[in-house]
Amino acid sequence: MGSASKPSPTAAAPSRRKVALCLTLLTLQYGAQPLISKRCVGYAAHLRITSPSKQGVIVTSLVLAIEFLKVICAVILLVAEGSLKAQFSNWSLVGSLTASGLPAAIYALQNSLLQISYKNLDSLTFSILNQTKLLFTAFFTYLILGQKQSPKQILALALLITAAVLLSIGESSRKGASGGSSDYVLLYGILPVTVASVLSGLASSLCQWASQVKKHTSYMMTIEMSFIGSMCLLASTFQSPDGEALRIYGFFHEWTLWTVIPVLMNAVGGILVGLVTSYAGGIKKGFVIVSALLVTALLQFIFDGKPPSLHCLVALPLVMTSIFIYQKYPYVDSKKKDR
């Protein structure tokens, strides 16, 4: 099997300050993204709902632009650290497909399953089942990397999942039940979101394995996964409504200078996701995602005057407690402890 890019012999583990900075920046980016996207792109998207004959910003164009900017950002950072030539000289197709191809394909399948499930489940059931991805991430991290959790860390994960479910319920409580027969709901609702949660945990653990074991840098993984994802998306445009819209209206239809802001933020977020997965692992990325929901609630209160829901107020201490417990009580190998 081809190996991934070889790390520099002088490469050192990132400092705790650098890890904390990446976690904080990603939390803020995740938290602010919904509000910024709503303000900068939301009107064009709103046009498609209120006036179907009016074509707004084409979603596929946004996604492709984000992936392109991710690649540009990753290349710039590789140049800045002086490792661009070394990374590409050590690059191999087999190593690339092993490190990035499989996670990219898994994430693509996961997203499709979530879309199917979301249409056929009520919000409460969807939210609860979707948050089990944190447990599957912990399971696959142990299975693939041998990373164990202490009993108190497992408790912290349970608290985090509880908080995530509360936040998700608070955000989606307006959506009613989908209806349908029990067999149909099981096949097209419960089963897809459960499989998607398993795949999410698997893909996150594979990305962590590629970066920490195979020493595939997060920047190279970002470039490779963006390229693979873009190729899959472009292939889908031959049959999708967005593909037809692109051919009729053009790539930058209804774009403005404001549209660039959320696109750039998403691209930077993609870089941060790679760094967080590489430095801290997929489980701590789960903590970031849930914490970002609280940031979103706070920003909505500041800029929209929308007070946090009761679900959010209950979830806040749960998230803070889970983060404290998870950091304070890591797993300690009893054999090493006795030495």
List of residues 6+ apart from 257 with CB closer than 8 A: none
Q: What is the mean pLDDT of residues 193-218?
A: 89
Higher pLDDT, 168 or 237: 237
pTM for this prediction: 0.79
Phi, psi at residue 223, to the nearest 5°?
-60, -50
User: How many whole angstroms separate alpha carbon 200 and alpha carbon 19?
Assistant: 22
Within 13 Å of residue 306, how many CA atoms lie on the same side as its CB?
14
Question: pLDDT (tens digit, 9 = 90+) per residue, 251-261?
Answer: 998 898 999 99
User: How many whole angstroms separate alpha carbon 108 and alpha carbon 228?
Assistant: 10
> Which two structure tokens, joined as six digits, stand for 277?
């997965």
pLDDT at 254: 87
Query: 255 near 57, Cβ under 8 Å?
Result: yes
pLDDT at 143: 92
CA-CA distances (angstroms) from residue 283 to 82, 142, 200, 254, 294?
30, 11, 11, 38, 18
Q: Is the pLDDT of residue 71 over 90?
A: yes
Query: 139 near 203, Cβ under 8 Å?
Result: no
DSSP 175-227: S------HHHHIIIIIHHHHHHHHHHHHHHHHHHHHHHTS---HHHHHHHHHH
Q: What is the mean pLDDT of residues 90-111?
A: 85
pLDDT at 118: 72
Q: Is the pLDDT of residue 88 over 80?
A: yes
Question: pLDDT (tens digit, 9 = 90+) per residue, 293-316?
Answer: 899 889 888 988 888 888 888 988
Higher pLDDT, 174 or 188: 188
Residue type at position 10:
T
In the structure, what pLDDT confidence band is assigned to residue 7 with cuts at 50, 70 and 90? very low
Within 13 Å of residue 66, how many CA atoms lie on the same side as its CB?
21
CA-CA distances (angstroms) from residue 326 to 150, 264, 282, 295?
9, 32, 14, 20
CB atoms within 10 A of CB 126: 24
pLDDT at 339: 54
* % of the chain at pLDDT higher than 70: 85
Which of 40-49, 176-185, 327-336 shows the highest mean pLDDT? Answer: 327-336
pLDDT at 49: 43
Secondary structure (H, E, C), 248-282 = HHCCCCCCCHHHHHHHHHHHHHHHHHHHHHHHCCH
Q: Is the pLDDT of residue 10 over 60?
A: no
pLDDT at 47: 44
> Which two structure tokens, joined as six digits, stand for 87?
């990374």
CA-CA distances (angstroms) from residue 42 to 45, 49, 215?
5, 11, 40
pLDDT at 44: 46
pLDDT at 337: 55
Q: Is the pLDDT of residue 265 over 90?
A: yes
